[in-house]
Structure 1
Amino acid sequence: MGFSWSSYIAQEEILDLCKHAGLAQDSFLACDCPTPSSFDLVAAAATDDVMIFSTAGAGVTSQAAARLDDAFTSRGAVRNAKKDVNDALCATCVGVDLVDGFFLDIPAARYLALIVTFLFLHCRKKASPKHVQQLLGALQWFDLLVRPKLSVYSDIYSFTGLPNVNTLMQLPTAVLGELACSIVLGIFWRCDLRRPFLQMLGATDASVEYGFGASILKTSEQYVRQVARWAEKQGAFILMDGGCAPAEQLCRSGEAHRLEASLNDFSDVFSVRRKHPAHINVLEGEAFILFLRWLLRSRKHHSHRVVILVDSAVWLGAAAKGRSSSQLNRLLRRMAALTMAGDLQLHLILVPSQENPSDAPSSGRRRKRSAKETC
């Protein structure tokens, strides 16, 4: 049986056991379903591992784990008791440390090993593509804690893709530079789970005819948190209150989520003419970068989760992934610099172009009105 099939079967069996143990499907953390609305009891499955989290106090996760153990026993499934962690605020989940229940971080010993490995390669100046790939794989795993950091890598992919994977060869300066940059930026791997949502819903857009625009809706943290549940979910998109016709919705394969706000509730924050012609996807990225720069002008916007509406599926996909093999990677590196410097965590949601609040300012039609408070 192939590895992918065995992983699929293990994952499906684990999910069925969780269901049997009373862990509801809508309480799972996964990229293909909305984020749970409550974290009183949530779970995540990684092939044959189950992680249960709760913000409801001591004992909740232990009770859920006990029910899961009973489900294992009833099915005759053998579990590895050595991996059990019960009701702990500090633990290691899929190679990542949970610290005091508030932070996700790379284990210190693991970070030290990565530093030593890089220094060895730097001194030796030679390595096989396979050795570099092993180091790169470890770095990329922890980069998932701060995805924009993935934009650091570019030339290293050409080196690791060479055919003679076991042959020692001279390490290009660019490859060493990217590895060094990644190691240094590892200080940003620490992720604060308590980071609040900015009480603002943003939107950006660009047009080849005029330039860039951005709009905001000032609202409550609860409202923004609800919208963020749909961020970067497969095919999910936003419709404004009284927006697209049903026939137009059917043209999209993803799930539509209606926003209880209209275009007129948003306030335009900038409408800027572009200086140079460029592909629309590049312009969309430029508009996004301008909005981040506008946000970070105020220190009160720092250290927040920010929800932003965009109408470019290409830019959303690249930004959500953290890197791109196209010219967008240059913009993603700028995005990475801004988000890490401002301690921002971004949540992007797709919105149809005609529903995008920043469509007007990106075409040079700036609306002058104050942002409306929405409950």
Structure 2
Amino acid sequence: MPETSGSRLGQGCTAAQRAVQEHVCQRVVRFCTRLNSTSDGPFSYKGSLQTFGRNSAGYERIRGGDVDLPTRAATCDPGNLVDPGLWETICRPGAIFEEHQSFQQCLGFTKTFGIERKEYIDLTCRELRCKKLRLRTQVFGVAGVFAAAKSTKGRQRKIWDGSVLSERATQPPKPHRLANPSSFLDIVVRRGERLYMSKRDAATYFDLLAVPADLQPWFGQEPIALHEFLSQGRFALAEVIGFVDDLPQGEGLLAQTLLFPVHAAWPMGFSWSSCVAQSNTIGLLVDAGVDPRCILSLDHTLPGSQEELCAVATDDTLFFHRCPFKGRRTLSKLDKVFDKNGVARNVNKDISLAAEMTALGCDISAAPPLVEPCKRKLVKFVAAVCDLLEAPTASPVVVNSVLGTAQWFCLLQRSLFSIFNAIYRFVQLEPSWKPALLPAAVKNELLVCLVLSPLLPAALDRPFLSELLACDAAPQYGFGVCSLACGRKVVEEVGRYAERRGDYVRLQAAAGDEPEVPRLGVPRRLPFCKGDFKPLISTQAKWPAHSGVLECHGVLLTVKWVCRSRSRQGHRVVILVDAKAAIGSISKGSCTSRRNQIRRMTHPEEKELFIM
């Protein structure tokens, strides 16, 4: 193709357009460099899809000697650390399970035979010796067990299949302040600041959390006969009797007596276990002197100071320090709290005051301050998508594995969720294991996701724009965008409440304004009135549409205005929007509201917050 005056990058473009092109090129170069750094040879993706699906599922037959167990289980009493209200609910009779009328009400397991049973008994004996399990002659619930492959080659994690029991139990509360990759986007690194990162990981965490004795009969497993414990487990009869909690005093056991192993620790696979573990970890942090407000959460307001932030994902505790001295002090206190409460650390995974860290499927670095998809996972994902694009058929379960990884990465750039539509229908096909013809729409969505993957990384050192923006739309008036030059400090303060549930902004009332209308939520009043805002865009709507759609278009006009200036690019921009549906669809990449449920907040001084 002959070169023309406009064929080179940047020629014939404005300064703002050229800046965008340069940014995209830099991201693509970084993306390709990271992919190339994982292998010395050429990039190969043939057969990656099959491997990806197998590794993602990760479910295996139990190998009794390969399951990781603590030296001693049930050493931590969550009653000392978990939120008092949550623990009171857990201990209240009938709060999780209805009052039991008879034994073995809920059976959900498949009997094992041959080598599988041998491995199952071997594992059960190991768990009895480390006090993870107890024995009972009668139980209220029984479930099967299986294993999931761990990242350490050859090692397994045992999972108790509590799906049936979880359906029978009451709905657990949402895990408190649970982190995900989106949590990292709230970290602000200012010019000249140094970010230090640390991580603490509890070893076999669920196995350490003691479950109340009254709940243990619900967490049963496939029974094992006494003679099997004596022969295969090499227990003495007195040892086995010592494990049984419901044997009347003086009563013996027959060789054929079936004994049900029950969990003495919260089983991984039960619906309530995650919220208990999350609350327990937060309790450990509070005991170590960490301010709960500094624990990052999408449902809670950001702290006023980011001198030391924390993120909690069940057994992983992540720290982001600005002062190494304070960081060392916090880590020292937390390590002592772990020891005091019987929580064993996985010392090999400890990270202290590092310049880079891998956590929650992301690589986080201090130089440059950046969060991006984990390189190891990204390479596997790219190879699997490339293989999938050439495959005529694929099973829904394998495609769902690829989709799950894509969705996790998209938490760094939520707008990319809007790509997916047809793929959701495909992964719901039954039977899920049977290969089905891949529709072109599914491949197109995966291709778009792959092409935009270089833009997933998010810079943590982007400053806030010094202008506070607001937009509005209405079918009878059209679109309006305005700005308030209030300074970066005020914009950052307003940005702390962006996209938090229940927070909304109210302006000062001026003469002639309509009376304020009461509403639910937490008002954040700004010391400005409508007259302080300067109009930027005022235009009629060129086509009829639902008010919610027009509100989203108003946000789009605002974003376009920001991007037209090179000086405004690369900033965190706070936009006041007065439609919840627009906030949901833009910040999350999708909106579950039906068209007739989309409604507009009409009061002129009330605005929801959106940050980009």
In 2: Cα distance, 1:63 partner to 1:351 partner: 47
In 2: Cα distance, 1:234 partner to 1:4 partner: 24
| Aligned partner (choices 549, 557, 560) of residue 293 of structure 1 | 560
- In the alignment, does 2:405 pair up with 1:138? yes
Partner of 2:493: 226
In 2: Cα distance, 1:290 partner to 1:246 partner: 29
- In the alignment, does 2:331 pair up with 1:65? yes
Q: Which one has more relative contact order, counting CA pairs under 8 Å at least 6 apart?
A: 1
CA distances 1:291-316 after superposition (whole Å, capped 9, x unpaired)? 11122111111111100001101111
Partner of 2:387: 120
Partner of 1:100: 366
- In the alignment, does 2:293 pair up with 1:43? no
How many residue pairs get aligned? The number is 334
SS class of match (2:538): strand
In 1: Cα distance, 2:366 partner to 2:273 partner: 34
CA distances 1:255-313 after superposition (whole Å, capped 9, x unpaired)? 11111211111011111111111111001011111111122111111111100001101
Partner of 1:169: 436
CA distances 1:300-348 after superposition (whole Å, capped 9, x unpaired)? 11111100001101111111212236799xxxxxxxxxxxxxxxxxxxx
CA distances 1:212-237 after superposition (whole Å, capped 9, x unpaired)? 11111012111111000000001110
TM-score (norm 2): 0.52
Q: 1:93 to 1:214 in 2, by over 3 A?
A: same
Contact 1:59-1:87 within 8 A present in 2 as well:
no
Contact 1:309-1:351 within 8 A present in 2 as well:
no
Q: How far off is 1:100 after superposition?
A: 2.9
Deviates more, 1:59-68 or 1:181-190: 59-68
Q: 1:258 to 1:351 in 2, by over 3 A?
A: farther
Q: 1:130 to 1:302 in 2, by over 3 A?
A: same
SS class of match (1:197): coil
Contact 2:505-2:523 within 8 A present in 1 as well:
yes
SS class of match (1:179): helix
Partner of 2:471: 204
In 2: Cα distance, 1:222 partner to 1:258 partner: 15
The structure richer in helix per residue is: 1
Percent identical across equivalent pairs? 33
- In the alignment, does 2:591 pair up with 1:353? no
Q: How far off is 1:108 after superposition?
A: 2.2
CA distances 1:183-239 after superposition (whole Å, capped 9, x unpaired)? 121101111100111111011111111211111101211111100000000111011
| Aligned partner (choices 505, 508, 522) of residue 238 of structure 1 | 505
Structure 2, gaps ≥5 residues long: 1-161, 167-269, 608-612
SS class of match (1:16): helix
Partner of 1:79: 345
Partner of 1:248: 517
| Aligned partner (choices 348, 355, 378) of residue 89 of structure 1 | 355
Q: How far off is 1:113 after superposition?
A: 0.9
SS class of match (1:148): helix
Q: How far off is 1:109 after superposition?
A: 2.4
Contact 2:517-2:603 within 8 A present in 1 as well:
no
Contact 1:216-1:269 within 8 A present in 2 as well:
yes
Q: 1:36 to 1:352 in 2, by over 3 A?
A: farther
Whichever residue aligns with residue 319 of structure 2, its letter is I
Deviates more, 1:318-327 or 1:281-290: 318-327
Quote the RMSD (CA, aligned, Å).
Answer: 2.3
Q: How far off is 1:60 after superposition?
A: 3.0
Q: 1:283 to 1:246 in 2, by over 3 A?
A: closer
CA distances 1:106-161 after superposition (whole Å, capped 9, x unpaired)? 12222211111112212222111111110011011111111111111111111112
Contact 2:581-2:593 within 8 A present in 1 as well:
no
Q: How far off is 1:247 after superposition?
A: 7.6
Contact 1:199-1:221 within 8 A present in 2 as well:
yes
> Greater CA radius of gyration, 1 or 2?
2
In 1: Cα distance, 2:314 partner to 2:435 partner: 35
Q: 1:33 to 1:168 in 2, by over 3 A?
A: same
| Aligned partner (choices 551, 569, 574) of residue 302 of structure 1 | 569
Whichever residue aligns with residue 489 of structure 2, its letter is Q
In 1: Cα distance, 2:382 partner to 2:303 partner: 37
Q: 1:164 to 1:232 in 2, by over 3 A?
A: same
In 2: Cα distance, 1:121 partner to 1:325 partner: 28
In 1: Cα distance, 2:546 partner to 2:602 partner: 19
- In the alignment, does 2:421 pair up with 1:154? yes
Contact 1:106-1:189 within 8 A present in 2 as well:
yes
- In the alignment, does 2:437 pair up with 1:187? no
In 1: Cα distance, 2:489 partner to 2:464 partner: 8
- In the alignment, does 2:269 pair up with 1:11? no
Whichever residue aligns with residue 194 of structure 1, its letter is D
In 1: Cα distance, 2:290 partner to 2:283 partner: 10
SS class of match (1:194): coil
Contact 1:237-1:352 within 8 A present in 2 as well:
no
